[in-house]
Amino acid sequence: MRSGKGRWALVIVFVLAAFVMSVFFSCAALAPYLGSGAQIIASLGQTFGLIDNKTADAIVKSGVAFGTAFEEITPEQEYYIGRGVAANVLTRYRLQPTTSAMTVYINKIVNALIINSPRPEIFNGYHAAILDSDEINAFATPGGHIFITRGLIDCATSEDMLAAVIAHEVAHIQLQHGLKAIKNSRFTQALLITGTSAAGAAGNTSVAELANTFGDSVSEIVTTLVTNGYSQAQELDADSVAMSLMSLAGYEPSSMIDMLQVLERNQGGRPGGFNNTHPTPAQRISNAQNTVGNYDVPDTSSYRQARYAAVR
């Protein structure tokens, strides 16, 4: 049976959780003060003899965790988070020389897409690189890092089809899908710390032992971005935004469908890659067909075919 102090621990910690939720939805700017607020609550509880040191520690840990979960990620932090994820990608793949003709070429496509986009400037700009792999895949990290495998580039037969691939990754960055994955992970971690802290204060298990059980959840961010991919809804949203970006830059949005049809033919015999990180090409084609009619872009793709052929 729980002691009186244990019951107070549960009450105070979960009241704190409810409080920070209301703070978040009413004024996220107050999130940085949740840690100090939790310390005040803990001190008052100890002063009036309502809680012991263990319970006070649980309250402070919960407040700090929620404060971190609700903090806004700055553009500079976004960039350095992305650098960390990019470094992780490069432990799994070999990078083609950044001076190669194709690497220079895809960065020019990136520039054409972003200069006409709603978010042309980010902390350290957009940078694309080629991964020397037969796998058909592409990644976008927070902060502007774009990786495309050689296998995926080989699937394209025109600049516009390649632009569709790049625009999809730019869309992930501009929609901040990576940051949303990070924020979701932070919030999950905060809830886990709150629950384990309360349980530890009410029982005999130390808070540290319980919290350590969930310590690996932070590493799931990289898994979400690189291994499992984004949610199906986010992938389909990225396709839709990509077609808009293509239209703004003068590329033919229907080339997205052309590229997806090629992927549908090529992916079946290749395990991994897009098969693991994206919805099926058939689902994406259906989604793209619903919106491609919204764009009326003059077909100028033939003018780009010569420069595309020159780098193949």
Does position 206 have pLDDT exceeding 90, yes or no?
Answer: no
Tell me, yes or no, if the pTM score tops 0.75: no
Of 222, 228, 235, 223, nearest to 279 by C-alpha is: 235
In this predicted model, which residue has the larger pLDDT, 99 or 198? 99
Strands 145-149 and 138-141: antiparallel
Instruction: Provide the edge-to-edge strand list for the sheet that holds 127-131.
Output: 127-131, 145-149, 138-141
Of 171, 172, 93, nearest to 130 by C-alpha is: 93
For residue range 34-82, what is the model confidence (pLDDT) as tens digits?
A: 555 556 655 666 575 666 666 666 655 655 555 555 567 788 878 888 8
Does position 22 have pLDDT exceeding 70, yes or no?
Answer: no
Distance of alpha carbon 224 from its chain centroid, rounded?
7
**Residue 215's pLDDT is what?**
36
In this predicted model, which residue has the larger pLDDT, 230 or 267? 230
Measured torsion, CA atoms of residues 205, 211, 212, 213, in degrees rounded to the nearest 10:
80
3-state secondary structure of 169: helix
**Residue 223's pLDDT is what?**
67
- In order, the DSSP letters of 219-242 are GHHHIIIIII-S-HHHHHHHHHHH
Q: How far apart are CA 198 and CA 195, in angstroms?
A: 5
Does position 149 have pLDDT exceeding 50, yes or no?
Answer: yes
Mean pLDDT of 126-137: 94
Does position 194 have pLDDT exceeding 50, yes or no?
Answer: no
For residue range 154-182, what is the model confidence (pLDDT) as tens digits?
A: 999 999 999 999 999 999 999 988 777 66
For residue range 225-247, what is the model confidence (pLDDT) as tens digits?
A: 566 778 889 999 999 999 999 99
Least-confidence region, from 30-34, 240-244, 299-303, 306-310:
30-34
Does position 24 have pLDDT exceeding 70, yes or no?
Answer: no
In contact, 31 and 80? CB cutoff 8 Å: no
Both tokens assigned to 240: 């839709």
Of 161, 113, 109, 171, nearest to 140 by C-alpha is: 171
Least-confidence region, from 24-28, 76-80, 103-107, 261-265:
24-28
What letter does residue 83 receive in the DSSP assignment? H
